[in-house]
Structure 1
Amino acid sequence: MSPRTLYSRIALAEVVSWALLLTGMFLKYVTRTTELGVTVFGMVHGVVFIAFCLSTVLLWVNQRWTVREGLLGLASAIPPFLTVWWERRLDRAGRLDGGWRLGRDGEAPANPAERLVAALLARPVVAVAVGFVAVAALTSVALVVGPPVGKQG
């Protein structure tokens, strides 16, 4: 899977998770019919949000994005539906072009972040496992910390 394909898919998943969460919020707060949508889709959105952020950091390093591009990529996950717009903007600018720069037979890593990305890309199965563990760990932390805006009731 190319960087473009990964980012496109995870950006779309983030948009879908936002739509599901907003639907759940509508059912909970407007129609007052059920809280199940917020409970289920809130968790789904949280997991996809974290995966999008981790993917953004991975591509930030691999694609040599500027600090501005990396921070805007992370920030694009916060407002609803902005991730696909951001991914398409990067794609039009050529910032998702090419393969995995630090993958096997790729460039030699020049700093600790690049060494980490190169190590992950050299072992795709390990990279996927590390990604799942990172998402699970960060999701667990988020569950302990609580909702983003105070206690929801």
Structure 2
Amino acid sequence: MTPRLFYRAFAIAETVTWTLLISAMILKYVFKVGDWPVTIGGFAHGMVFIGYAMTAVLVGVNQRWRTRQIVGAMATAFVPYLTIPFDRRLEKRGMLDGEWRTTATDHPGDHGFTNVVMRWLLNRPVLFGVGFVVLLGAIMSTMLFIGPPGGRS
């Protein structure tokens, strides 16, 4: 899977979970069906939101985006449906072109700690996948422990 496809999958998933969450809020507040739709939609959206942010960082580092670009990519997840137009903008600018950088080049940034760790993980896809899921679960668990936005009812 290329960086473009990996990023795009999470950008699309983010919009799908926004739809789930908005639909769940309509069910809860308009049709008064209880809290369960928001619990399910919110959980799904939270997981994908965190995964999208992690993906934006990973792809941004791989593609050598500026820090501001990576933060901008993560910020698009806060606005419903903004990840898709942002993805298209990245596509038009060629910022998703290329493969995963699994070997070092002469680029000065390739020898920094972040890039060395990224290449090490990319060269071990099973470990990378497990690590991605474990980190996602750890962040989600921490967020659930802290509590939902707006507090617990």
TM-score (norm 1): 0.93
Match of 2:12 in 1: 12
Report the AA paired with residue 115 of structure 2: E
Does the residue aligned with 1:76 lie in a helix, a strand or coil? helix
Report the AA paired with residue 39 of structure 1: T
Does the residue aligned with 2:78 lie in a helix, a strand or coil? coil
Structure 2 regions of 5+ residues with no counterpart?
Answer: none
Give the Å deviation of 1:34: 2.8
Residues 1:126 and 2:121 are matched in the alignment? no
Report the AA paired with residue 7 of structure 1: Y
Q: How many residues are aligned here?
A: 150
Q: CA-to-partner distance for each residue in 1:75-128, whole Å, 9 max, x for gaps?
A: 011111111111111111100000012x1x453732111011111101000000
Report the AA paired with residue 130 of structure 2: A
> Contact 1:100 / 1:106 at 8 angstroms: preserved in 2?
no
Residues 1:135 and 2:136 are matched in the alignment? yes
Q: CA-to-partner distance for each residue in 1:2-37, whole Å, 9 max, x for gaps?
A: 000001111000100110011001111122123221
**Residues in 2 aligned to 1:85 and 1:34: alpha-carbon distance in whole angstroms:** 33
> Contact 2:104 / 2:111 at 8 angstroms: preserved in 1?
no
**Residues in 2 aligned to 1:137 and 1:107: alpha-carbon distance in whole angstroms:** 33
TM-score (norm 2): 0.93
Match of 2:91 in 1: 91
RMSD between superposed Cα atoms in Å: 1.3
**Residues in 2 aligned to 1:3 and 1:140: alpha-carbon distance in whole angstroms:** 27
> Contact 1:15 / 1:83 at 8 angstroms: preserved in 2?
yes
Give the Å deviation of 1:140: 0.2
Does the residue aligned with 1:53 lie in a helix, a strand or coil? helix
